[in-house]
Structure 1
C-alpha cells in the first residue's frame, strides 16, 4: 500500500527548514557591469564538512505523475544545490529527520527561474524534472569519504498531482 503526497508550489518560507530557494529577488543587491547587470547576492548557504565545492552537470530523464517515491537520500558532509540550465519544472521531495529516519515527507514543485540548495543532511528525493528532460548545474561537495545515505520506505509514497 502507498502513502499519498500532494505537491505545493515551492516558496522560501515553506522550504526554509530544508534549504534555500534560489531565485531573483524583487531588487538586486547591487548593480554591476556599468549598471547593466543586477547582482542578487549570496542566495544560498553552501556548507561542507571538508573537501571543496564542485560544479557538475546532471542530465536527468523526465519523471511523470503519479511519481513513486520509494527512496530518499541525504548527504551528511555537504549541502547540494540544483540549478536548472533548461527551463523545466522539477519535483522536490524532502523529509524531516527523526533519529536517522526520514519522516513527514513533503513534495514541492519549482516554477521557472527557481533553483534549490539543500542543507547538509536533509533527506530528499532523486532529481526529478517533470514531463521533460532537464539539465542541471549541481554545486556540491567534492572530497574523500562517504557522503551518501539512502533510506528505502517500507510503503512507498506516491506524488499524485501538482496543486
Structure 2
C-alpha cells in the first residue's frame, strides 16, 4: 500500500483544490458600534445547477487515528464545500487531483489551529477528518436539485501518516 505523508496546509499548495480560510489574512472591520469584528468574504461558495441554494450545517466528527487507511474519496460536481472548525484544533484535509474523471494520488494536509478550507466544486477529497477528539465544524455547501455526490473507492487504498 502506498504511503502519503501529511504536510502543513498552505494557501499555495492548496490552491489547485480550493481556498484556505484564514482569519489572520481576511479583510475585517468593526461593526455593531465596535463591539464585533466582521471577517468578510472568506470563501467563494460555488453553486451550480438549477434551483441551487447554500446550506449552512454543523457536522460533528468523531476523531480518526493515525496512521489512517484511506479507502475512499468523494467529490461534489455541483458545488464547493467549506469546512470551518468551531474549535482551534487542527484537522486533516485530504484532496486528490482529477485524472480523466478519477482521482489521482491524494495529498494530505494538516490545518493550522483555527484554519478552515473551502474545497472547490468537483474536487476529489476525503471525508471530514478531525484528529485527537470529537470536533464540530460549520459546513457550507450546496442544496437543491441534482446529484451532488460522487464516490471513488481505491483498489488498494493509501496509508496517511506523518513523516517517519
The alignment's TM-score, normalised by the length of structure 1, stands at 0.92
Paired residue for 1:160? Answer: 161
Paired residue for 1:74? Answer: 75
Contact 1:28 1:38 in 2 (8 A): no
Structure 1: tracts of 5 or more residues without a match = none
| Distance in 1 separating the partners of 2:65 and 2:11 | 25
Partner secondary structure for residue 112 of structure 1: coil
Paired residue for 1:33? Answer: 32
Paired residue for 1:21? Answer: 20
Paired residue for 1:126? Answer: 127
| Distance in 2 separating the partners of 1:28 and 1:56 | 24
Paired residue for 1:49? Answer: 48
Partner secondary structure for residue 138 of structure 2: strand
What value does the CA root-mean-square deviation take over the aligned residues? 1.7
Q: What is the CA distance between 1:89 and its match in structure 2?
A: 1.4
Q: What is the CA distance between 1:119 and its match in structure 2?
A: 0.4
Paired residue for 1:107? Answer: 108
The alignment's TM-score, normalised by the length of structure 2, stands at 0.92
Paired residue for 1:5? Answer: 4
| Distance in 2 separating the partners of 1:65 and 1:153 | 19
| Distance in 2 separating the partners of 1:23 and 1:12 | 9
Partner secondary structure for residue 6 of structure 1: strand
Report how many residues are paired: 162
Q: Which moved more, 1:118-127 or 1:143-152?
A: 143-152
CA deviation map 1:47-82 (0-9, x unaligned): 111310011111111001101111000000000001
| Distance in 2 separating the partners of 1:86 and 1:25 | 16
Q: Which moved more, 1:121-130 or 1:83-92?
A: 83-92
